[in-house]
Structure 1
Amino acid sequence: MLKIEVNLDSAEVDAALTRLVHAMNDTTPLMMGLAQVMAEASERAFETETDPITGARWPSLTPDYKRQRAEAGHTGPMLQRNGTLRTSMHQEYGHLYARYGTNVTYAAIQCFGGITRAHWIRPRDKKALAWRKGGKSYVRRAVFHPGSEIPRRRFLGVGPHDKQDMKEIIADYARTALLGK
């Protein structure tokens, strides 16, 4: 009968696995990297006015709204009339999570689209509302607004390239832990 005996010194493997376990006990550095990828995808969406997931261009503003913006002196990019939404974006990360988003109340309808709630419009500091349309003047104490359809202009999410970057960050994190470099 043939007998083969193999003795392995598993010290290196044990050390690598121990480093990996320690690295997984606090994945905050990994999560920080993933949150950064999300932040970069969102920033790119605002800069290029494109969906970060599909790369499709955002729908154009309506001609009436473009005119209103121009009359008010706002000729800049979409979703950036005063910069509140873009500058409110922030990342959070910890041991088990990576998040990127905003707490601005109107962000969801801008990002995902939808129909605004019907509401009454009343003057803030006058007795009535006044406007001109088609050469005719109108004065009203209140006006009922049926709601507006807001098209989706997604600025949150990650596309295929971002997902690949995330996979590489995860692989690098694990590789560094295993190899101790």
Structure 2
Amino acid sequence: MAAEGVRVEGDWSRLFETLRDLNLSKSELRMLNAQIAQIVAEGSKERFETERSPEGEPWEPLSPATLIARARRRTRRKDGSSGYRTKRGKVSKRAERIVANGKPLKDTGRLMRSIATKATSEGAAIGTNLVQAAIQQLGGKAGRGKKVEIPARPFLGVSSSEEADIMELIQEFIRERVQ
């Protein structure tokens, strides 16, 4: 899949003109971009708690089949046997808790922990190196034979509150250098 960029919209032209006119050093620009990247990365990580896209749309809940597969995997005993069912054939209490508390994109926490930033004097990048991130972000067909439809659960992007924080950061950055 092609990488998808994020475009911050609005009237930023005056801010960017002012930044250009300040003749900032590369290290100052890198520092500003690192701070912007941090705002976006923290917002992306918060979405794992709120379970909402950058636009505020709620994520699709996990399917029952996914919840059961997760419970089966997480109740496996050290000897390799299943702890999903009790000896009497009932679903174990632990498996019930796993199914009841199953949250999208939070099985191991690996995806959230993989979010990283890179800042240069030219700009900033926020993303993850995990292969499964693209299917979670964009949605699509997955699984054996691509028979399972995974709904998009966008976690990367810029929310309106993050955009406001970035605007405020840039304005403060300019104020400090103009005085």
- Aligned to 1:72, the other structure's residue is in SS state helix
Q: Partners of 1:111 and 1:97 in 2: how far apart?
A: 22
Tell me whether 1:90 sits opposite 2:116 in the alignment. Answer: yes
* Structure 2: tracts of 5 or more residues without a match: 1-18, 75-97
Tell me whether 1:70 sits opposite 2:71 in the alignment. Answer: yes
Q: Partners of 2:126 and 2:111 in 1: how far apart?
A: 13
Residue 46 of structure 1 and its aligned partner are, at CA, apart by 0.8
Note the alpha carbon deviations across 1:84-129, whole angstroms, 9 max, x for none.
Answer: 2111111110111111110101101101111127x4xxxxxxxxxx
Q: Partners of 2:102 and 2:146 in 1: how far apart?
A: 28
Structure in which a larger fraction of residues adopt strand = 1
Residue 70 of structure 1 and its aligned partner are, at CA, apart by 2.2
- Aligned to 1:115, the other structure's residue is in SS state strand
Superposed CA RMSD: 2.2
After TM superposition, the score normalised by the length of structure 1 is 0.67
Q: Partners of 1:147 and 1:105 in 2: how far apart?
A: 18
Whichever of the two has the greater Rg, that structure is 1
Structure in which a larger fraction of residues adopt helix = 2
Q: Which 4+ runs in 1 deviate beyond 2 A?
A: 22-26, 70-77
- In structure 2, the residue matched to 1:141 is none
Q: Partners of 1:46 and 1:155 in 2: how far apart?
A: 7
Note the alpha carbon deviations across 1:137-178, whole angstroms, 9 max, x for none.
Answer: xxxxxxxx3421110000000111111111111111111111
* Structure 1: tracts of 5 or more residues without a match: 1-16, 120-144
Do the aligned partners of residues 93 and 77 (structure 1) sit closer, same or farther apart at CA in structure 2, a change above 3 Å counting? same
- Aligned to 2:105, the other structure's residue is in SS state coil
The one-letter code sitting in structure 2 at the alignment partner of 1:22 is: L
Q: Partners of 1:146 and 1:152 in 2: how far apart?
A: 15
After TM superposition, the score normalised by the length of structure 2 is 0.68
How many residues matched?
Answer: 135
